[in-house]
Amino acid sequence: MKEKSNISKKEQPLTIFITGGSSGIGFQAVLKLISLGHNIILPCKSISRANEVLTNIFNQNTVQLSKKGEIYTPIMDLSDLKSIDSLCCELEIRRVKIDVLILNAGLQYTGAKTPRMSTQGIELTFAVNHLSHFYLTQKILPLINKKNDPKIIITSSEVHNPNSGGGKVGSKASLGNLKGLESGEGFEMIDGNKFNADKAYKDSKLCNILFAKKLSINLSKENLIIPVIAWAPGLVISRDNQGFFRYSRKYNQFGQILFAFLARDLLRITTSNKEAGLLLSNLACLCKYRKPGFNYYSNKIVSLGKFIFEESDVSNDAQRGDLSDNLWDLSKSLIEKILR
C-alpha cells in the first residue's frame, strides 16, 4: 500500500485546493503535501475552525514539515452554495491558479431518523457530498492551471457498489429514475423515497462517480486534458473524535464504538487516516496518476490488515451514461433554480 511520495527537485510546487482538509484523511493528506513543499488552499467553515486547523498543522513535528509549503484557509461552507460563490469570486480577483482540485469533503449521519437541510433547503448529505462539489467544480474550472498537468480528484467509496462488502450491508445505493432530484427543492432522497441516512450516503458516493465520469467526458469535448480520478480509501475509522464518523457518533454512539472495535481492532479490516491520507497525497502529486480521462482506484483489503491500492471497476449503475447525463442536467437545473 505504501508508495514513495517525494517530488523531483526540479518540479515546481503545486497549488492544491482541497475540501474536507480540516480533519481525517484530508488533514493527513494536507500534512504530507505541505511537507513536500506544495501550497494548499484549504477552505474552512468558519474563522474559528480555520484557526484551529492552522494551530494543529503548525504544532506538527518540525522535521515532518521541514519543507513547508504555504497554506491558505479561506472561509467556505459547503452547505451553502452562496458561500462557494463568494470564495470563488475572491480567488478569481486574486488571480489564483490551481493545479490540483481535490473534492474530498464527505458527510454521513447514519442513524438519524430525519433529514437535515442545507442553507438552500437540500438534504444535507446530497448537498455537501455531491451538489456543492458539482457547483464548486464549475466555478473553479476557469482557475485551473491547464499548462501544468492539472488533475481533479474526487473521494468516493466502495459502498457506491451494492456488490462490495460495505455496499451489501443495509440499504443499497440506487438512484432510481432521480424522481426526488427532478422534483426540485425539499426532497428527502434522490430517488424520491423516504429518508434513509445510510442510503443517502451511499447514493451520494454513486453520484460522485457518475459526476466524475461525465466531467471527464465534458472536458474531453473541450479538448482539455485533465485527468479526473475517483477513488475509494477503504474503511477508515479514527481512534479520536475527528475524521469521517464524527457525525454518525452523535446518533448512535454505542453502536459506533462497537462497530469500530469489531472492524478495526478485532477483524482488522480498516485502514488509518494517515495511510489513506498518504494515498490521497500520492494521487495528487505522483506522475503515475496522470493517465488521461476518467480513472477509478480502490484501496481493497486482501487479508487481515493488508490492502492493495489499484485501478478498479465501478458498479453497474456507475457505468450508465444515461444516469450520468441525467444527474448532471438535473443538478445544474436545481442549482439554477435555487440561486435564481
Task: State the total domains in the chain.
Answer: 1
Res. 91: pLDDT tops 70 = yes
**So what's the pLDDT on residue 260?**
53
Q: Residue 7 domain-assigned?
A: no
Q: Residue 9 domain-assigned?
A: no
For the chain, first and last CA: distance in Å? 47
Confidence at 114, pLDDT banded by 50, 70, 90: very high
Q: How far, in Å, CA of 90 to CA of 177, rounded?
A: 37
pTM to 2 decimal places: 0.89
Share of the chain above pLDDT 70, in %: 84
Bridge partners, residue 100, by sequence: 16, 151
Q: Residue 146 domain-assigned?
A: yes
Res. 242: pLDDT tops 90 = no
Q: pLDDT for 177-196, tens place per residue?
A: 999 999 987 799 999 999 99
Q: Residue 273 domain-assigned?
A: yes
Confidence at 66, pLDDT banded by 50, 70, 90: low
Phi, psi of 260, deg, nearest 5 = -60, -45
Q: Residue 221 domain-assigned?
A: yes
Beta strands in 35-164 (DSSP E): 39-41, 71-72, 100-103, 151-155
Identify the CA nearest to 158 among candidates 148, 170, 150, 168: 168
Q: Residue 3 domain-assigned?
A: no
- What's the domain range around 228? 15-338
Please state the rounded mean pLDDT for residues 32-56: 95
Q: Residue 10 domain-assigned?
A: no
Q: How many CB atoms lie within 10 A of CB 310?
A: 10
CATH number (domain holding residue 225): 3.40.50.720
Q: pLDDT for 267-319, tens place per residue?
A: 454 678 899 999 999 999 999 999 999 999 999 877 776 778 999 999 999 99
Q: Residue 44 domain-assigned?
A: yes
DSSP 147-188: TS--EEEEE--GGGSTTSTTTTSSSPP--TT-HHHHH-TT-S
Cell, residue 87: 470564495
